[in-house]
Each structure stands twice: as structure tokens, then as C-alpha cells.
Chains A and B, each alone.
Chain A
Amino acid sequence: MDMKVAKKKLGLKEKYRLMTRDLGWEPTYRAKDEVFPYVNYEGIKVHDWDKWEDPFRLTMDSYWKYQAEKERKFYAIIDAHAQNNGHLNITDARYLSALKIFLQAISPGEYAAHKGFARVGREFPGVGTQVACQMQAIDEIRHAQTQIHALSNYNKYYDGFHAFADARDRIWYTSVARSFFDDAMSAGPFEFMIAIGFSFEYVLTNLLFVPFMSGAAYNGDMATVTFGFSAQSDEARHMTLGLECIKFMLEQDPDNLPIVQGWLDKWFWRGFRVLGLVSTMMDYMLPKRVMSWREAWEIYGVENGGALFKDLARYGIRPPKGWDDAEKAIDHMSHQFMLGLYQWSFGTSFHSWIPSDEDMDWLSAKYPTTFDKYYRPRWDHIRKLAAAGTPFKNFGLAKLCQTCQLPVVFTEPDDATMSCHRETEYKGEKYHFCSDGCQHIFDNEPEKYVQAWLPMPSLFQELNGDIGAWMNWVGLRDGEDNGDFVGSRDQRNFDQWRGMATSNL
């Protein structure tokens, strides 16, 4: 028996290097360009992939172990939630509109992120980068699935959830989120990382996730809040990956700066528009509110975002171009958007409603400079029409922004009485935009954005404006999924079932 030789003590970093980066090699039988064909065309220069700092060091054995523990807890809780009619513990069935929007528009985005990260997890020539992206790819399918599983029980008892897969591809408002993710996935691998890995996961995720999951907690939705807690440590990993990615690009070559800055400008504004949906949820859809959209923006936008861009200033990065316009829009966007949703509620697979007096007082207090001046009078008018039995409905088609696909419902950044509308003519066609930000994005890549699928025009072209046929096509059941919450089946059932659960009637 030979003598026992003491093994070298390996540090964590060195051990991780051996377990990951050391697995790769420079191909010699095939050209590197053939193996990684998409990594050069965007113009990002990388001189040394080894300079990549692993944002986290997780080998597969630990990944399986940690994730399995979280999975066990998650499914134990949502099983109990389903078994015990946990849906009756929510504050009010109005809350469900937020969940319906989430399942139709955001969960499909998780799946798109899964596919996108699998693609970049293959296309980057650096092993460290690839492994980090692959782990995010598998996490993202986890998020898509746990969200569907958490909301599956609500679908059994409430309307508006049942056709989420059809709504994802066909209904008008989901194309806001869909076009966002399609945009990122049709971009090259580096832009994808700035779009999803950095802008969405790092800069904007807190504005989506924290309000949403806190909203679930405040409103007694155990299923969703459990998903939120369970995803938290994944999200922390994704954020460090996004940050490492942008720093890596900026450190590799000074020529990368203008390209990265252009993407930041673009993806900040793209993301900000998607978050319009979250602003209405926070200000209007939560029966028990967490904080106003303005307050969330102060914390997660101004404070966190400000610190981040200060940190990136040493690379020459400045805050995104649309930042000031975003700030100006904060006190208006949720009101403008909710007024839009209410008037087009015949075409939404969720309910909207006229805010109560108490709701409006809260909105006045949270938006002292804008709500009473611009929006309360409009809600009062709408309420009068509803009381007179002639509710305000807009069956006309909203003009959609060619870039972000939201209806053109916003006002000029410096004048809340002027509706904001921009136009570009390209190859003899006119294109409409909701803002300077969206117009700039189009003008930089017109060939891409002329391809956008706009759901409203296709209602006319393909279905001859037949609204009933359109509803069948998008999976919307008239009189059940859509319209005002007051008088809806969701309202009736929830009140009746809750009565059965909490009284002896």
C-alpha cells in the first residue's frame, strides 16, 4: 500500500473553476465561428472570456439539493391551499384581476426567458457565462410552472384564467409583454442579456416583484406569496448575473460603451412601459393596498436605480435616456391606464371597476398634484353615466403604439392636458407612437418594428370587426370574463362562498 499523499487544499473559487470553466476547450477540428456563430454580429468586443467573474458558485449537486428543498415546501403549501379552499381567504374577488393579468401576460414571459437563457447559455463562448445562463434557463421554467400551478386552483373557481394560453398569443393587451420578450429574444445574445438579464432582472424586477408579492401577502393570497418567497433566492442569483454581465461588457473594451448605453436607453423605456400594468394593479386593483405606484417608484426606481447608475458612472454609463420622462409620467400613468382599461373592459379577460369614494380619497392623498385635478372629474363623470344606466364603453379601436403596443393613452410629459402622440413615416407607411421613447426605439431599428403584430388592426382585417368572433378566437367569454366587476359572476360566487365559509347561512 503506498503512502497517503495529502491532497491540495482547493479554495472555493479554484474548485469552482475546475468544475466549470476547465470543462471547455478551444475547438480545433471546427472553426470557433461555426460553434458560436452569433456572438460577433452585434459589435460587442470581448478579448478575454476568462476575465468573467462568476456571479455565484453553485455546482449541480448543490443546485439540486437547495432547489429540491424549496420545491417540497412550495408544493406542500399550495396543496394545502387548494385542499382548504384557500382562495376564500383573499380580501375580495377584485384582487383576482391582478392575478389574471399576471398569468396571461407575465408567466409567458418567464417561459420566454427560459428559452432565451437556454439560447444564450449555448451561444456565449465562455463556459462561466454559459453555466450561469443555463442555471437561469432552468430557473425560469421553474417560475413559469410554479406560477401556473399556484394559480391553477383559482381557475377552477373564477373566470378569466381559463384561456391564458390563447390570450397570450391573441388578446390585445398581452402583446405589450409578448412583444417585449419577443423583442429581446430576436436580438443578439449580448442585447438579450442587457434586456432581460440587466434591465428587466436588475433595474426593474423590484418594481414588478416586490409590489406584486407584497400585494399577494396583504390580500391573503397564500398561493402567490409562497411562489414569491420560493423564487426570491433564484431572483437574487439572476440579479447578480445581470450586473456581472454589464460590467463584463464594459470592462472588455471601451468600444462597447456606446452600444451598451443604447441598449440601456431602449430597454429601460421598453420595461417602463410594461410596468404600466403594475402601476394600475398597485393603485387600483388591490383591495388592501401596499403602497402607491409613486411610492414604489421612489424606493425601487429613484433610490435603487439612482445608486446603481451612480455605480456604473465609472464606466461612462449615464442614466437611461427616458429616465426624466418616466419620472414625469409616474403621477399620471396608473390613472390614464386604468381609465383606458375600464372603457375597453368589454375586451379584457379580467374585470375593472369604478373606484369607490374611499378609493378616490386614497388616490387624492397619494397623488395630491394630479388626481383631483385631472382624474377624479373623469371618474365622477363615468360614475354618473353608470348610475344613469348608460355606462361608458368604448367599442372603438384603440390606436396602439407600434413599439410598446399599449394604446396611445398617455399625455405629454410636460402637459397633462395634451395627449401625446408621435408619428414616423417609413417607406410610405405611417407608424404611431405613445411617446418619444417608443418613437426613438422604432427609428433606430425600423426594419424590426415594422414587423410587429398589432392585435387591433388584425381584429378588423381578419375578423371584419366581428367582436363575437374575436372573443371566441381569444378565448374570452362575454358576460363572464370581461366587463365591470360589479355584478360579475366572480363577485357573486365569491360573496356566496365566503358567506358559506364564515357564517351559518
Chain B
Amino acid sequence: MPSVCFYFQVHQPFRLRHYTVFDKSVSYFDEFKNASICRKVANKCYLPTNRLLLKMIRRYEGRFKVSFSVTGVVLEQFQKYCPEVMSTFDALAETGCTEFIAETYYHSLSFLYSRNEFYEQVGQHMDLVKRLWGQTPRIFRNTELIYNNQLAETIESMNQFDAIITEGADRILGHRNSNFVYRPPNCKNLKLLLKNYSLSDDIAFRFSNRGWEEWPLDAPKFSRWIDSVNGCGHTVNLFMDYETFGEHQWEDTGIFDFMFHLPEYILRHPDNNFMTPSQVIRSYPVMDVVDVPHVISWADTERDLSAWLGNAMQSNALHEAYKMEKLVKQTAKSDIIEDWKKLLTSDHFYYMCTKYFSDGDVHKYFNPYDSPYDSYINYMNVLSNLRQRCKDALAEPTEVEQQAS
């Protein structure tokens, strides 16, 4: 009976350019690097995978379904650097087999630092999805699946969402598994969909690992694992970064073939099907309450906030950035406000992570800086320039005052 629920995260930050304390320019972002990374990943992942999914949706005549959360900042970059990606997303939206999920427009940690900014960014993202694809998202996912009871309460109080997506971390589930619909403790209507991290990571991380005992993974084998959920679960939530396809797992690993053949084997079992998150919560009852008093996320093995808030630099940079909110908004200047919001993207703080830094692991692969220290210095220099811009803007006489004099 299990339904397979795919959700893909699509995101690219606006990376900063090298910015020293002596720089006075107001262009903070590395246009060249952002454009080239965006085009590179588009060619390796976004374009081929979107086209593959379109082909699959057509081939299985609506029985294959997927869902996406596409951040505002990556959409801005698609529009600017590779608009052809936009048209493939449009085509996916038109199939009716694609659900779009809401999140913070800037892929930020605003929930932890400013409720006002959080509401603003969720609203911005909802507006964008509605404008682009005509859908009003009913499912919410927070940046990096960061979640606790408080987030559930906040989201329920917004009266716009039916469910939240988060990590199926062992420590919140205990003896239970992630393959059911759950509910947060103090919520009446809001439901929870939890990531099956084991099966998700088999695709996202282990697929090409030759040291893995299950390598090589093919569609029949994976389908058997899905079949075996039958009887102890309603839904298998396969949540992963979209860059898994073609970027983290290169084309020559066979990841595209695997994906293309997967529905064929999964749908062989008459009880199996594919569903979007909204369909899952409509189709299955809530099985239990999952209490999450402490913050969880989908990052690293710790599944906590330590990738963004693990050292003094990260916490300082975050505090300094959010401390500027009032000042920034007072200026009422759209360029300043937009720059500030782009600086809230969680990736900037992830680059400052010193965890595992000496070991040279996965954090390094995604990091445009040589070291977390360089990234902190760069970020603080930019922030300091932005602060000065705010002060200068506020010191300028307003038009009314100018006319009066």
C-alpha cells in the first residue's frame, strides 16, 4: 500500500564576491560565479532532470507525481542566467502532477531570529509560486527542514497550510517509523510529513558509493525495499536535494536511468502508487503525535543547527545580520532591503562552519571559500558596508524636507 512521495529541494544562494574592508562598492554578489554555477548545475541537473520527470509523467499518464520547493533566490537566478530552466518548470507545473511547496523566499533562518521577517519571506515565496505556476502552496517546509513544536504552532496560526515537512530523525520518532502521517502536539489541523532518511539517503548519498554493500542500486532492488514497507507504513517520503540528480550523483553513475525505471517497478505492485504531499495527508489518517521540543534539521549526522550555529563566528554573524533589520527597513530603500535579505540566506552561515573543517569533508565541496574564517571576514565586511549605507540613507534629507528648505 505505500505511496511514494518525492519532494525535491531546489536552491542556489547568491554567493558574495571577495569583499575586503577597503571595498566601498555596493555590489556585494559575485555575478560571474553565480551565473557560471547556475548554468553549470542547470546543464548537469536542472534541465536534464526536469525533462526526465516530464517524460515520466507523460509516460505513466499521471500516475507518477513529484513535488518541489524552489527558493526565491534560485528562481531569480534562473530568470537572470538560464531562463530555459524556468520554462521546464512551467511545463512541469502544467502537467498537474507537480505540487509546489512553500518556504522562506531567501532560504533563511529567519524563523529562529525574526518572526516578522519570517512571515514576510514566506509571503513573498507564496506570491512568487502563485504568480509563476498558479498554485497556492498548502504545504510548508522550513529552511534545511529546521523544525520544532514552536514552528508548527506558528505555521498553524497562519491558517494557510495543511502540513509541514521535516526530518524523520530517530530521536523524535523513538520506536515509530517515518512512514505515517503524524501531528504536532499543540496543533488541531496541521499535519507532519517526515523524511524517510534511510531510503532517501540511499539515493541521495549512497547511490554511487562502491564501498556500500548494496551497490549497485537499481530500480528493481529499490522497489523491493518500497514493497517491504507494505503493512508497516502508508507513505515513503523521499525528500532530497534536487542536485542529487546529475550534480551530486553524476550522470555516469546511472542515476537518471535508475529514476526513469523506478515507477515501472514500483507500480508493478498494485498497492503502490505515487503521491504529492497534499494527496498523502488527504489519503491517510494521523497515526500519532510527534513531540519536538528541541530544534531538528536534516543536516549532517547531528541533524541539528550546528552546521549554521556551531561556533562563535556563526552566531555573531547571524545576530549582527538580524540586528540590522529595523535599520534596514527604516530606510525604505528597495535595493538596501533586497541586499540585506539576500545576506540572510543560510548558506552564508554554513560556509563559516568549522565542524569537520580539518577533515576536508562534504562541507568543503559546497564551499566557495578556502576557509570558514575567510567566509566570516568577507560576510562581516559586507555587512559593515550595508550598515553604513543604511546610516547614510537615513541621514539624507527626505524629499519633503528638501522641498521645505
- Do A and B bind? no
